[in-house]
Amino acid sequence: MSEKAFNKNLSHRCEYCVYGERLSENKTLCRKHGVTDSKDACRKYKYDPLKRVPETAKLPTDYTPEDFSL
């Protein structure tokens, strides 16, 4: 679980930064640089794992009665 939250290969983005606050889909308000694009990042970037929204899990829909029997 923690490997996914702290992925080292995750690209730096203002929307994941502790200094950024999301304004809209494409804009972030940065405490250091003002309004920026969400995909931008600067030298002050510091990752905040709680700001990243994980992808939803896809559940299978092709169940059979045998799946629910013991």
**Over the stretch 5-46, which tens digit does the pLDDT of each residue have?**
566 777 888 888 999 988 988 999 999 999 999 888 889 989
Q: Tell me how far CA of residue 70 lies from CA of 18, 63, 64, 66, 67, in angstroms.
A: 49, 15, 13, 8, 8
Looking at residue 3, its pLDDT comes to 54
Domain ranges of the chain: 16-50
Considering the entire predicted model, what is its pTM? 0.62
Strand order in the sheet with 34-37: 20-22, 27-30, 34-37
